[in-house]
């Protein structure tokens, strides 16, 4: 990440972040990295649930530290009338509010979009929830694996023997929630430049997942075939697009799709007869799988990786995370860097995923301590020192 003084793409955009855990935190950090002023509003005493999640570094959660850079923290009890009053004053000068409560919670607090737009007609408000603000499941509880299951995505993972398995990444939370929320917020801000008015952005993690299904949904919608893990070409059924165990116990991924890469692979492993059957099924696939497993088991993973790379065949080691972050490609793209934290000391940070030529992402602030910016924020709103002390005494902040 570029940490020099640069133009910020979202400089001047003020974001009030009411979210907890992964989906909202990822969304608002991406906005913050591009220059938005993100104020994280947290429950007094406890804060974001993620602050307590293991592993802890010293006092703070590692995942919290990776999700909350470039933000400030204000503790605020939104159930207290004085807390609501502070929030309304913040809304007067805000551009965006992001919240991740169950549908209806903000309305019950008297802080729903209809109420807030009366204060600030230019406000963009984004709600991130499992199933969105409408439909029979709008108030149902759920988490990543549940949204994947209901969206028809979970069946894509696993094999006929194992059945569906839990994916190792939070695909619904980040892919269906965080990224869709960033997209929605930026589109709403752009529309506001034309109309002069804000709007409400309703993000459902289940809805967001459906966009990810386009390739495999074609099987269901156009061929009447349900795609399941281990049963389709790109779901583990093809020898040319799979993962293999090597002689040293390490694994290697093979990702051959184009025929010219397949032909080069067949020549490399001295099996020219395979050139005519890149996508075998049934017994032919079983035979090809067996031979390829024996092939890869005959040499260490690094040997295979070097041979395939030299022949320009799509393949890659199954790296550990330590290996991934040490890889020259990761270093060239600045996918890991360090920042200084006032309590935790030097801490690692994951790099911003998009490179801009004129408005690169920047690192400005370490992840905040709980309520670290209470005095500064409230003073900027016009609260006197004695008023701030009273709010603290009354457990409003």
Q: Which two tokens stand for residue 240?
A: 């040319």
14-17/241-245 β-pairing: unpaired
- Rounded Cα distance between 390 and 397, Å, is 9
DSSP for 116-163, please give it: HHHH-TT-EEEEEESS-SSSTTTT----HHHHHHHTT-GGGSSBTTTB
**Each residue of 297-307: b (16+ CB within 10 Å) or e?**
eeeebeebbee
How many CB atoms neighbour CB 236 within 10 A? Answer: 18
The answer to whether the beta carbons of residues 31 and 189 sit under 8 Å apart is no
Q: Kindly state the DSSP code that residue 369 receives in the 8-state scheme.
A: P
CB neighbours of 133 closer than 8 A, spacing ≥ 6?
103, 127, 202, 204
- Would you please indicate which residues are annotated as catalytic (active-site) residues? 143, 173
**Each residue of 99-135: b (16+ CB within 10 Å) or e?**
bbbbbebbeebebbbeebbeebeebbbbbbbbbbbee
- Rounded Cα distance between 220 and 223, Å, is 6
Dihedral sign, CA of 18, 23, 25, 30? negative
Block residue for tokens 């002023």:
37
How many CB atoms neighbour CB 329 within 10 A? Answer: 8
DSSP for 12-81, please give it: T-EEEE---HHHHHHHHHHHHHTT-EEEEEE-TTT--GGGGPSPBSSSSBHHHHHH-TTEEEEE--TTSH
Q: Which two tokens stand for residue 333?
A: 């793209």
């Amino acid at each position: 990440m570029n940490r020099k003084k640069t133009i910020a793409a979202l400089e001047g955009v003020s974001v009030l972040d009411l979210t907890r855990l992964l989906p909202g935190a990822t969304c608002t950090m991406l906005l913050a990295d591009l220059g938005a002023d993100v104020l994280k509003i947290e429950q007094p005493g406890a804060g974001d649930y993620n602050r307590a999640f293991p592993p802890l570094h010293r006092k703070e959660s590692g995942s919290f530290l990776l999700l909350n850079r470039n933000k400030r923290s204000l503790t605020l009890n939104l159930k207290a009338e004085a807390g609501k009053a502070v929030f309304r004053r913040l809304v007067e000068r805000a551009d965006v509010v992001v919240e991740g409560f169950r549908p209806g919670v903000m309305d019950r607090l008297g802080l729903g979009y209809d109420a807030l737009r009366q204060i600030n007609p230019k406000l963009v408000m984004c709600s991130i929830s499992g199933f969105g603000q409408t439909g029979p499941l709008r108030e149902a509880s759920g988490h990543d694996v549940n949204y994947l299951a209901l969206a028809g995505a979970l069946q894509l993972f696993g094999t006929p023997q194992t059945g569906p398995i839990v994916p190792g990444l939070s695909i619904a939370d980040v892919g269906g929630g965080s990224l869709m929320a960033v997209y929605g917020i930026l589109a709403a801000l752009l529309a506001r430049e034309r109309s002069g008015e804000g709007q409400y952005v309703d993000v459902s993690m289940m809805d967001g997942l459906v966009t990810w299904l386009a390739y495999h949904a074609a099987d269901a919608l156009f061929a009447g075939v349900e795609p399941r893990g281990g049963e389709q070409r790109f779901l583990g059924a093809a020898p040319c697009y799979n993962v293999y165990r090597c002689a040293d116990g390490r694994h290697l991924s093979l990702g051959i799709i184009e025929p010219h890469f397949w032909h080069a692979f067949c020549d490399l492993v001295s099996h020219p007869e395979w050139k005519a059957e890149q996508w075998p099924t049934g017994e032919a696939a079983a035979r090809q799988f067996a031979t390829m497993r024996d092939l890869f088991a005959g040499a260490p993973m690094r040997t295979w990786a070097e041979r395939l790379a030299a022949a320009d065949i799509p393949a890659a080691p199954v790296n550990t995370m330590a290996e991934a972050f040490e890889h020259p490609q990761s270093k060239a793209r600045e996918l890991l860097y360090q920042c200084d934290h006032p309590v935790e000391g030097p801490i690692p940070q994951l790099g911003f995923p998009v490179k801009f030529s004129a408005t690169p992402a920047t690192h400005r602030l370490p992840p905040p301590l709980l309520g670290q910016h209470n005095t500064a924020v409230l003073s900027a709103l016009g609260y006197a020192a004695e008023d701030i002390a009273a709010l603290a005494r009354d457990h409003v902040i």
